Chain A
Amino acid sequence: TQLLEQSPQFLSIQEGENLTVYCNSSSVFSSLQWYRQEPGEGPVLLVTVVTGGEVKKLKRLTFQFGDARKDSSLHITAAQPGDTGLYLCAGGSGGSNYKLTFGKGTLLTVNP
């Protein structure tokens, strides 16, 4: 069974601070996705990384896939209250990436 461990589980910061969220596994994944989920809604895909060492930027968010494709990180620069939400990582395996394994999430609160 593949497991994804996310840390920290909870994070509360002030507006303007930087933060990093981690997603780690002992298993190799063919792809790694990050989602953000707001209360009462479904997760929304932020990014997909597929190549070891890959770095993707989405405005103030930077995503990195580890060289060995076992871990990933999400870095947010100058966090804003609108960044508040549950951040989930999900790993895909096999050729189709159909069956995703989700981490338990990091609940981020950005205080104004």
Chain B
Amino acid sequence: NAGVTQTPKFQVLKTGQSMTLQCAQDMNHEYMSWYRQDPGMGLRLIHYSVGAGITDQGEVPNGYNVSRSTTEDFPLRLLSAAPSQTSVYFCASQTGIEQYFGPGTRLTVT
């Protein structure tokens, strides 16, 4: 099992550009989520999904879109990147009450 994989590892965007952060898991977990981690702020939930076709907003959803067409994949879309979205992004999948995190994507918006 690869667990939770994320691509890319690093990304630099210019303000206004769009991109998709990819996340995939091979553990057949129904629940997946996206977090951002900023210095001094801890991990904050952006969006989550309790199964294919079902998504909901977390604590900081503005500027981000998600979709869940399959159990395995949960991409995060930035439609118009802003410098405030510079952060490290983590995807996680969950079984029961245990979450498994991916290695993260470090995004810089200039």
Contact = CB atoms under 8 A, between A and B. Distances in A.
Interface of A: 31, 33, 35, 40-45, 48, 50, 88, 90, 92, 96-100, 102-105
Contacts of B99: 33, 45, 90, 100
Contacts of A48: 97-98
7 contacts: A33-B97, A40-B104, A42-B90, A45-B98, A97-B97, A99-B48, A103-B42
B102 A42 contact: yes
A97 B96 CA distance: 8
Contacts of A33: 97-99
B42 to A, nearest CB: 4
B104 A98 contact: no
A98 B50 contact: yes
Nearest to B38: A104
Given A33-B97, A48-B97, A98-B94, A42 B42 contact: no
Contacts of B58: 99
B97 A42 contact: no
Contact of A102 (B43, B50, B96, B97): B43
Interface in B20-58: 31, 33, 35, 40-45, 48, 50, 58
Interface of B: 4, 31, 33, 35, 40-45, 48, 50, 58, 90, 92, 94, 96-104
A83 B25 CA distance: 28
Nearest to B104: A42
B27 to A, nearest CB: 13
Nearest to A89: B42
A41 B97 contact: no
**Minimum-distance CB pairs A-B, first 10:** A42-B101, A104-B42, A102-B43, A97-B97, A102-B42, A43-B101, A31-B97, A42-B90, A42-B103, A42-B104
B99 to A, nearest CB: 7
A41 B104 contact: yes
A36 B104 CA distance: 14
